[in-house]
Structures are given as structure tokens and as C-alpha cells.
Chains A and B, each alone.
Chain A
């Protein structure tokens, strides 16, 4: 039970950090924020790797491998598409903006 309490501590504090950080992200970047945070939620891949780590083909191993595939789609796809989007955001190269 003690480790559960520690986990709840960590979770609660991380939620507050999340709120602080995300409220500072301008609406301009909300779509990259979503795809990027999507990639971060692919951190489940760590759990999937641990689950798949067995030298047998038990059900639990197979589920783990499937989880790796899904989580990696999330991670690689999420980060790459975020980078692709952010690369499009350019500042005006001209100094004279309008009249």
C-alpha cells in the first residue's frame, strides 16, 4: 500500500505541473501540443517492453508485443507529425508588415 501512496503523490504533483505548463501554451500551438502530448502518452511502450520481455510465447508476452506495436505507432507517428507541423510555423521574413 505504501508504494500506492507514493504513486498518488507523484501523480498529483505531475498533474499540477501539467496544468501550469499547458496553460502557457498559446492557442497557436494547440494542435502540435495535442499530437506531441499524444506521443508522450506512448510512454506506455516502457510497460509494453517489460510485459513482452519473456523467452516464451505465453499469452502475456504476445499481448506485450501487440502493445509495443500500438505504443510505437503513437510515439514515432506523434513526434514526427509534431515536428512536421512545427517546421511549418515561420515568422514573417519581411520586416514591413502592412502599411
Chain B
């Protein structure tokens, strides 16, 4: 029986690996998700089977309650709110690991409890709880329940170090004197505080990195629980997720030209609660203001347009009307492409999902490296609700916080159009010299209103 069970778990783990492999291409991705789903169903079924056919009723009730909540959230959630949802779910994964580890501490499944089990219980409690409280803070920041700006306490880093040291001390005490439930409770308490102090100094604009990192932690927490229970399917699945989160947070850091250390401990990420609201006007240099009609008139005469969407587009809910505009341009024989910067949304890949939801075919969405050479042969670069990711200061201005960040080469296009609410600088606070360029047209206004105006004018012509 034990072999059968282990083989079934191995098969489930293989399904997860296959699932992630199929996620490597948009054509097979859905199938990959189904593979992973199948693996999970199998793992759960086997566990129920070994615990006595169907097991006690409370297990089933727990599963039904959790499934219903999960299903409702998955159905209802807006695509713009995906970062919050993933943050919250990361937290749930973390707390589940903490609960399992604590339950195992109170009633060990194998006796005697060896030292390595005690150590891994400490790890599991610690990582799981950090993931939980850290994710709740990330959720609150993204949902606007608390300010997105960095919150730095006095002696913040010293506090963090003290908390870490306290964890190590309590962890050692727990291994030395495992009979006292005080230690694991103290570890949970310290980890809970650490999760909070770990995320509050990180600004809203850096949240993509944090969500990816917490994603990784939720995986590591599952792995740690696997160590506690000597269960390989938990270890493997957790390790896969852990690796995934680390890679994504690294990619996000590269796209923002920051080190992970700088994101976590630098506290320079700024408030982004209102898209690109920035500081408003007040610029001395003059820019040329145009209306949506002017922009439509130009676009009617060109051959190629590259659209650069930023988060301001999603804030204004203008994805759908943007797609309509894209279709209109294509109907006129104009070549239309979308250029997606890695940090265009609020989590890795977010902008792609938002545009896919608006029915933009995914083969029109181009990654930065694939499209950057095309701008020089393009008539119009239309930037909607983005700023920092197209700011040429990143190439030249050495003292700028943006310096070195990879940007979309929109300034190489023949005409540059910005649709923006104001002259405000981006999150980085760096003025964009491109606004004042002769070939730049500034169209001020809400993204949705402007693009709707564009569609209207394009239809008339």
C-alpha cells in the first residue's frame, strides 16, 4: 500500500512538472493547467484513500468550504485585481503550511520526533507565517486598504535583525526543549511581525517584485511542510513554485534596473495608488497640446503604429476601446502592434492578461526585446498611460533613478504620441524629456475618454 501511495504521489508531481512545461507556450498553456489540476486531484484523492476511504466528515466539509470560496473568488475577480488576488492566495498557502506544521508539532504523526523534524517544523512555521502576514500587507497595499507609499519605522532594519535573531533563538530552544508549546507560538508571533515589517517599507510600484517573492515563499513553505511530513510530493511542488517565484522576482528587478536587495531594503519605491497622477503640471518648458481629433487625423495617414500600454490604461479601463481602435486602424490597412514592457502592469505579465481580456490577439503583443528594433521603422508610437518605461533619460541621464533601466525605444519612431492625464512624472519622479521633443504630440486626458475620441474620429474619416 505504501508503495502504491508513493507512486501515486510521484505521478502527481510529474503532472505538475508537465503542467509547467506546457505553460511554456500559449498554445499548450491551458492543457498544462489541466495537467496540474489532474495532478492535484490525484494527490488529494490518494490522501483521502489512505486515510480510510473517505475519512472523517470534517475533512470533506473543510474541502467543500475551501473549494466554494476559491471558486467564487476565481469567477468574480476582475482581471485588474489579479495582483491582489494572487497576493491573498499566497498568504493562504502560507497560513496552511503554518497550521499543518503546528498541528504536527502538537500531535506528531511519527514517533519519536527526531531533531530534523523539530528543525523543519520551526522552518515551516517561520516561512509560512511570514508569507501569511507579508501577503496580507501586500494585499492591503494593492487593494488600497493602506497607503502604497513605503512605511519605514524608526530603526527598521535593526528591528528586522532583532526579529530574525529572536527566531533563531526560539528555534534552537524549541529543538532543545520541544515539550514547551511556548516556543513554536513565539516563533509564529515573531514571524508574523517580521512578515509585516518586511513588506511595509516597500512601495506600491515595487509590488510586482514582492508578489513574486511571496509566491516563492508560499512554495518554500509547502516544501518545508513536506520536510516535516517526509512527503515528497509537497517537497517537489513547493520547490517548483519556489523556483518560479524567485525567477519572476529577478526578472521584475532587472526590468526596473534594481537589485532585489535594493527593492527589499532600499525603501525608495514611491506611492502609485493613482496610476500616473504624479505631481501635476508646473513644468516650465512648453509642450505641444493636441486633441484626439488631431491624433486621429495623423494616424489616418500613416502605415504603422506601435501601441505602448501602461498601467494608466488599465486604471482608466480603456483596454476594450483600445482594442476597437486597433481594429479600426487595421481595417484601414495600418500595421498595428502592441509593445509590452515587463513592468507594464502590477504583476509579471499583467498587461498581457488585461489586453487578452479585451480580445487583443496574443500574437499582436510583443515583448520589449522583440520589438525595440522596430520603432525606428514605425510612423507612430502611441503611449497610453505609461511614462517611466519609455523615458529616454534612462539611457543618458546618469544621475537619474531610471538610469540603466531597459526602456521601449519609442523615441526612435517618427511621431510619438502620449495620452496622459497630466504632465506629471512617473513613479521614479524623473521628468520625461520626450514630452518636449518636436515630434511629440501630447494628448491630455483620461485614457478612456481620449481613445474613445480617437475611435470616433477614425470612424468619421
From residue A31, how far is it (CB to closest CB) to chain B in Å?
A: 4
Main secondary structure of the interface of B (DSSP, over half): helix
Q: Is A60 a contact partner of B58 (Cβ separation < 8 A)?
A: no
Q: Is B99 a contact partner of A66 (Cβ separation < 8 A)?
A: yes
**Is residue B461 within 8 Å, beta carbon to beta carbon, of the partner chain?**
no
* Chain A residues within 8 Å of B223, by CB: 11
From residue B373, how far is it (CB to closest CB) to chain A in Å?
A: 17
Contact for A43 among B40, B58, B82, B251, CB less than 8 A: B40
A31's nearest neighbour on chain B, judged by CB, is B349
From residue B19, how far is it (CB to closest CB) to chain A in Å?
A: 7
Range of interface residues on chain B? 35 or more
Q: Which B331-347 residues have a C-beta within 8 angstroms of A?
A: 333-337, 340, 342, 345, 347
Q: Is A44 a contact partner of B63 (Cβ separation < 8 A)?
A: no
Q: Mark B65-87, 1 if CB is under 8 A from A, else 0.
A: 11101110111010100100110
* Chain A residues within 8 Å of B387, by CB: none
Q: Is A22 a contact partner of B29 (Cβ separation < 8 A)?
A: no
Q: Is A80 a contact partner of B74 (Cβ separation < 8 A)?
A: yes
Q: Which A1-23 residues have a C-beta within 8 angstroms of B?
A: 1, 3-4, 7, 10-12, 14-19, 21-23
Which stretch, B190-198, B227-235, B393-401, B451-459, touches the partner chain A? B227-235
Q: Is B349 a contact partner of A33 (Cβ separation < 8 A)?
A: yes
Q: Is A11 a contact partner of B93 (Cβ separation < 8 A)?
A: no
Contact for A47 among B70, B225, B340, CB less than 8 A: B225
A84's nearest neighbour on chain B, judged by CB, is B74
* Chain A residues within 8 Å of B211, by CB: 34
Contact for B74 among A12, A44, A53, A81, CB less than 8 A: A81
Q: Is B100 a contact partner of A28 (Cβ separation < 8 A)?
A: no
A66's nearest neighbour on chain B, judged by CB, is B99
Contact for B244 among A28, A33, A70, CB less than 8 A: A33
A96's nearest neighbour on chain B, judged by CB, is B330
Which stretch, B152-160, B170-178, B214-222, B427-435, touches the partner chain A? B214-222
A33-B248, A63-B106, A72-B70 in contact; A38/B367 too (CB < 8 A)?
Answer: no
A38-B218, A54-B56 in contact; A22/B243 too (CB < 8 A)?
Answer: yes
Q: Is B47 a contact partner of A60 (Cβ separation < 8 A)?
A: no
A27-B348, A38-B218 in contact; A46/B66 too (CB < 8 A)?
Answer: no
Q: Is A60 a contact partner of B103 (Cβ separation < 8 A)?
A: yes
Q: Is A73 a contact partner of B99 (Cβ separation < 8 A)?
A: no
Q: Mark A40-57, 1 if CB is under 8 A from B, else 0.
A: 111111111111111100
A14-B240, A22-B244, A86-B33 in contact; A46/B335 too (CB < 8 A)?
Answer: no
Assembly CA distance A29 to B24 (angstroms): 8
Q: Is A98 a contact partner of B334 (Cβ separation < 8 A)?
A: yes
Q: Is B215 a contact partner of A37 (Cβ separation < 8 A)?
A: yes
Q: Which A69-87 residues have a C-beta within 8 angstroms of B?
A: 69-87
Assembly CA distance A43 to B219 (angstroms): 9
How many chain A residues touch B (CB < 8 A): the figure is 86
Assembly CA distance A64 to B335 (angstroms): 57
**Is residue B442 within 8 Å, beta carbon to beta carbon, of the partner chain?**
no
Assembly CA distance A18 to B70 (angstroms): 25
Q: Is A29 a contact partner of B55 (Cβ separation < 8 A)?
A: no
* Chain A residues within 8 Å of B65, by CB: 69, 72
Q: Is B348 a contact partner of A31 (Cβ separation < 8 A)?
A: yes
Q: Is B356 a contact partner of A90 (Cβ separation < 8 A)?
A: yes
* Chain B residues within 8 Å of A58, by CB: 106-107
**Is residue B116 within 8 Å, beta carbon to beta carbon, of the partner chain?**
yes
A77-B73, A87-B30, A92-B363 in contact; A36/B243 too (CB < 8 A)?
Answer: no
Q: Is B37 a contact partner of A28 (Cβ separation < 8 A)?
A: no
Q: Is B75 a contact partner of A80 (Cβ separation < 8 A)?
A: yes
Most chain A CB inside 10 Å of its own CB: which residue of B19, B36, B109, B349: B349
**Is residue B328 within 8 Å, beta carbon to beta carbon, of the partner chain?**
no
A47-B225, A50-B109 in contact; A70/B95 too (CB < 8 A)?
Answer: yes
From residue A30, how far is it (CB to closest CB) to chain B in Å?
A: 3
**Is residue B145 within 8 Å, beta carbon to beta carbon, of the partner chain?**
no
Q: Is B222 a contact partner of A41 (Cβ separation < 8 A)?
A: yes
Contact for A35 among B48, B89, B242, CB less than 8 A: B89
Q: Which B77-132 residues have a C-beta within 8 angstroms of A?
A: 77, 79, 82, 85-86, 89-90, 92-93, 95-97, 99-100, 102-104, 106-107, 109, 114-116, 120
A-B contact pairs, 13 of them (CB 8 A): A15-B239, A28-B362, A30-B347, A35-B82, A37-B245, A38-B89, A47-B234, A48-B62, A71-B66, A78-B89, A88-B353, A88-B356, A99-B334
Q: A47-B234, A74-B66 are in contact. List 16 more A-B contacts (CB 8 A).
A: A4-B116, A18-B241, A31-B347, A33-B348, A35-B86, A41-B241, A45-B63, A51-B100, A60-B104, A60-B106, A63-B106, A67-B100, A73-B69, A77-B74, A80-B74, A89-B26
